[in-house]
Structure 1
Amino acid sequence: MKLNQASLRRLGALALLPAARAALYDQPIQITQGAVQGAAAFNASSAPSSISNWEDIAVWKGIPYAATTGGNNRWRPPQTAPSWNGTFEATAFGDSCPSEMAGDGVSEDCLSINIWSPATSADAKLPVMFWSYAAGGDSSQSTYDGAGMAGKDIIFVSYNYRTGPLGWLTLHELAEETGATGNYGLLDQIQALKWVHENIAAFGGDAEAITVAGQSFGSGASYHIVNSPLSKGLIKGAIAESGLKDPYDPDMWGFGSDYRNMSWAYAFSQTFAESLNATSMADLRALDLDTVLTGTGTSTFVGFDPVLNYHSIPNTYLVSLEDGAANNVPILVGNNKDEDGISLTTTYTVSEYESDITSTYGPYAAELIALHPASNTSQASDAYNAILRSGSCTSTWSWADRWSKTSDQPIYYYLWTHSPPDTDGATHGSEVVYALGNLFAQSGVDYTAADYAIADRMSSYWANFVKTQNPNQGDSYAKGTLPHWAANVPSQNTTFELGSLWEQTPFATAEEIEIYLEYFKYATPIPY
């Protein structure tokens, strides 16, 4: 058919029109393993008013990023992910990895990944937040709903990883198999990150703009990824919520980001194996899952933690801080006002206060008590909490100060102070749903308009950091300009308060900081 000049001009004009918008859940998309079909995150009746682009947000759940970890794959690095013919219906969360808090749907075939994307084209190249959950959790929890981040033009990824004895068992026979032992959970985390790097473009993401993030144990996971040579070059930034401390701080033991030395881990793991009457890895791998979870040390999983194996974890925190991490990237780090043993409902007499502080801080107690004197029960309780708060902030501040001395990348240090409804203080983990902007997904909580306003501002800082590695830049806050959050202030005794003031504020006096730093080295002569 021959076209006249008028027809050609009309076709040329049509070619200049933008392509029709289409959510990525409208049809299957292709990844390395095969085709996957997602779903709409919301419909007209479920969409929260806080998300303007809800019609575009797609979610894919339960995509396997590695093979089952059961049978002969138990206590081995994550194995190649399965492929499939046809289309994988990614509309339900995968099984949770076994943990002391996991409920129904638990199995060793648990290494799956979930993605929330607002992209309307695979060419969108949106930045990515890669989220690691806290100890005992799993990626299906509403706490980690990713639609809030997707509402701010971020692709949010969550995933499952091994923990407890299945994630951290450390035995000589395992070392002989692969040259390194322990840290199977960390290897899962790095494998999931590599999967995202290889596949996220299909979901409209930018593989060169991945920020690792997490809270508590998930904060530790992010920091292990920052330090590990196995993830070098895969990330652009890191967010660590309530997980990083000074390498000398004795509270690192049992904290979210700690690790065990090899001698301790070998002995602990050997006790676990002996409790199950297992004399070889073949014996351990032949046991059913329920039996494995009855071994010594599995009732609370305390003791099964990452290990300093000089492979996936290359060195101590102190050495990594002094020599520089494998990934020298911008970091956003902080802690909450009322964590680390603080209780606003516990009261202390003056003698109880002084006795507890003395038993904890030893030769440094008198100086701290002098700085926080108390003559009655009310003052004693306040003074006790004030000492713990200053110590916790000093520890995270000291870590940030050490990092900033060897890194040329910006660091942003915060303190979360907001108490959610029906809670007693800004407790451990209370900031997560605000930072991820997903209050709408939390059932049974009577959030106020003020809570939603705080979440909008808080999550905008987080989204901006993922976009630009600067919480002040990124146009995520639709209501206007965010209060400026200055970088690289660890050399001062201030932090950026989030939740009420939204400004730099002192967390301790210079005298207090000096006391805490001396106490840390006294309590832990050999640092992490």
Structure 2
Amino acid sequence: MRTEAGDVQGAMQGDVYRYLGVPYARATERFVPAEEVEPWDGVLTTNSYGATSPQGSMLGMSASEDDDTADNNRQNLNIWTPGINDGERRPVMVWLHGGGFSTGSANERNYDGANLSASGDVVVVGVNHRLNVFGHLDLSAYGEKYADSGNVGLTDIIAALEWIQENIDYFGGDPSNVTLFGQSGGGAKQLALMSAPSAKGLFGKAIVQSGATETMGVTFATKEQSQSLTEHLLDNLNITAENIDDLQTVSVSDLQDAATAALQTTADEYRIPAPLGDGYQMEWGPVVDGDFLPTNPVTDDSFAAAGEDVTLLIGSNLNEWTGMSAPTDVPQDNADAIAAAVEEAYPNVGGLEASRVDTLIRLPMLKIMSHKADQGGADVYAYVFTHSNGVMGSYHGAEIPYVFDNVSGDALADHISQAWVSFARTGVPAADGLPEWEPYTRESGTTMLLDDDSELVHHHDQALMSLLAPDYQY
């Protein structure tokens, strides 16, 4: 198989061709944008997963132990396609993995794209890129070299999308029909890219699955916060402006330890609420620097201008974290009205308690979709995934196997995966067996409840959300 940089050899996986670890760029230094791939001679074997970013601290947990010899060059793709060099122009679905902007990779078993590629006749691409301190340490105050350092994790993804524009036709894909999709942090990455002028035109549609909290997707770090974080990290390493390039050789473990401590110091300094539990917490993520990211995704009266023409499919899961470590705080002075509102919103979910109804992600989703719809640009489609998967219900990430059509012989997996494919192909989610899916507006509140018996509803949980979070404005 040809690419612009050289030939690659993959393998067959069932009925699809698979290429793993395909390089799309190369980072020769930390904290600076990656460069183009150097061409190679001969044939590059791409039948094993490529290198992934060192894993950072997240949600108060320490960074994982990483090999200190690991380099900075983690820019590679996993590709599944039904056909190569066959003249077909298939929709391209680019998966951005979860784990916030701190952890995870495109190499996880749940993200295997073979079934989705085969059943949907689409090209599926997973992206590995820089994360945590390697992707989002803002050193812009220390010279032009580091001007984009706070967002190089995103510039990696943009480089991947540019590679797709130049190469995906060899893999049977249509570079003019690219859809991003991703869960949790993968959704937040899409929201950031929808706010970045340099990503405009590289994709036309986005599928955001449980992809935002108030401080990670609705908004991102301010320049002031990010530069304060950097100062604390440099203090922890005894590095000054005069020897700033010493950061290039600090060991991974020392850099991660300094980063974990600096995140907490900055969270306490700016009183950034922890997403789960009490206290303060800051996570790695993009920087709204006024240049690469001119604004937050959600603006005071609209949505980021760069995302106006991007059609959006967005939603969350009914329970998210509430079945694990973060039940919703339910006002006890209005318990009867809240119980009635739960029954009104979800009459087909037996035994549902208000404490199990997610607000942490659902409310930011409502804010994002409402502001995007208010913008008057491309359409917005909304969903809530309500299908229960055991005692934890429809937990955070429970929809992923259904999206990838990796639940064998399951009708709901057929419905969801084909709706996602339909959206990628046409801009409208649809599948045999699903009701006709109408766009969301603030006035209509149109939402698809995805379950064994999916249902299109309107403002189904408006009363419930108002009771659970009376002060929240979306």
Checking the alignment, whether the CA contact within 8 Å between 2:297 and 2:303 is kept in structure 1 is: no
Match of 2:25 among 27, 47, 66: 66
Aligned to 1:132: 96
> By how many angstroms is 1:82 displaced?
2.1
Checking the alignment, whether the CA contact within 8 Å between 1:96 and 1:102 is kept in structure 2 is: no
Checking the alignment, whether the CA contact within 8 Å between 1:239 and 1:331 is kept in structure 2 is: yes
Measured in 2, the distance between the counterparts of 1:120 and 1:183 equals 34
Aligned to 1:263: 224
1:344-383 matched pairs, under 5 angstroms: 356-357=329-330, 366=333, 369=335, 371-372=337-338, 382-383=353-354
- SS of alignment partner, residue 471 of structure 2: helix
Asked if 1:213 corresponds to 2:194, the answer is no
Match of 1:230 among 183, 186, 198: 198
In structure 2, relative to structure 1, the CA distance for the partners of 1:455 and 1:91 (3 Å cut) is: same
Asked if 1:317 corresponds to 2:297, the answer is yes
Checking the alignment, whether the CA contact within 8 Å between 2:140 and 2:150 is kept in structure 1 is: no
Aligned to 1:92: 48
Checking the alignment, whether the CA contact within 8 Å between 2:21 and 2:50 is kept in structure 1 is: yes
- Residues matched between the structures, number: 433
Match of 1:500 among 448, 452, 461: 452
> By how many angstroms is 1:236 displaced?
1.6
Measured in 2, the distance between the counterparts of 1:205 and 1:107 equals 31
**1:286-317 CA distances to partner (integer Å, 9 max, x unpaired)?**
22323322214179995321111122212123
Aligned to 2:380: 411
Aligned to 1:143: 110
**1:84-120 CA distances to partner (integer Å, 9 max, x unpaired)?**
0111111111111111477888642211111101025
Aligned to 1:196: 164
> By how many angstroms is 1:423 displaced?
4.9
Checking the alignment, whether the CA contact within 8 Å between 1:297 and 1:303 is kept in structure 2 is: no
Match of 2:443 among 461, 483, 491: 491
- SS of alignment partner, residue 269 of structure 1: helix
Aligned to 1:14: none
- SS of alignment partner, residue 183 of structure 1: helix
Measured in 2, the distance between the counterparts of 1:428 and 1:494 equals 22
Measured in 1, the distance between the counterparts of 2:367 and 2:47 equals 44
In structure 2, relative to structure 1, the CA distance for the partners of 1:399 and 1:491 (3 Å cut) is: farther
Higher percent of residues as helix: 1
> By how many angstroms is 1:433 displaced?
1.3
Checking the alignment, whether the CA contact within 8 Å between 2:179 and 2:204 is kept in structure 1 is: yes
Q: Which runs of 5+ in 1 are unaligned?
A: 1-28, 43-53, 245-250, 348-352, 359-364, 441-448, 522-526
Which residue identity is paired with 1:462?
W
Measured in 1, the distance between the counterparts of 2:466 and 2:169 equals 48
Match of 2:429 among 463, 471, 488: 471
Asked if 1:454 corresponds to 2:422, the answer is no
Measured in 2, the distance between the counterparts of 1:519 and 1:383 equals 17
- SS of alignment partner, residue 439 of structure 1: coil
Aligned to 1:332: 313
Stretch moving more, 151-160 or 92-101: 92-101
Which residue identity is paired with 1:95?
A
For normalisation by structure 2, the TM-score amounts to 0.83
**1:140-172 CA distances to partner (integer Å, 9 max, x unpaired)?**
101111112211101000011111111110124
Checking the alignment, whether the CA contact within 8 Å between 2:317 and 2:386 is kept in structure 1 is: yes
Aligned to 1:153: 121
For normalisation by structure 1, the TM-score amounts to 0.75
Match of 2:83 among 108, 111, 119: 119
Measured in 1, the distance between the counterparts of 2:383 and 2:130 equals 30
Aligned to 1:400: 369
> By how many angstroms is 1:320 displaced?
8.2
Measured in 1, the distance between the counterparts of 2:351 and 2:398 equals 25
- SS of alignment partner, residue 92 of structure 1: coil
In structure 2, relative to structure 1, the CA distance for the partners of 1:309 and 1:344 (3 Å cut) is: closer
Aligned to 2:343: none
Root mean square deviation, CA, Å = 3.0
Measured in 2, the distance between the counterparts of 1:31 and 1:320 equals 43
Checking the alignment, whether the CA contact within 8 Å between 1:332 and 1:413 is kept in structure 2 is: yes
Aligned to 2:237: 276
Q: Which runs of 5+ in 2 are unaligned?
A: 57-62, 265-281, 341-349
Measured in 2, the distance between the counterparts of 1:95 and 1:324 equals 33
- SS of alignment partner, residue 388 of structure 2: coil
In structure 2, relative to structure 1, the CA distance for the partners of 1:401 and 1:60 (3 Å cut) is: same
Aligned to 1:342: 322
In structure 2, relative to structure 1, the CA distance for the partners of 1:508 and 1:467 (3 Å cut) is: closer
Aligned to 1:294: 257
Measured in 1, the distance between the counterparts of 2:236 and 2:85 equals 54
In structure 2, relative to structure 1, the CA distance for the partners of 1:436 and 1:174 (3 Å cut) is: farther
Measured in 2, the distance between the counterparts of 1:102 and 1:305 equals 18
Stretch moving more, 194-203 or 321-330: 321-330
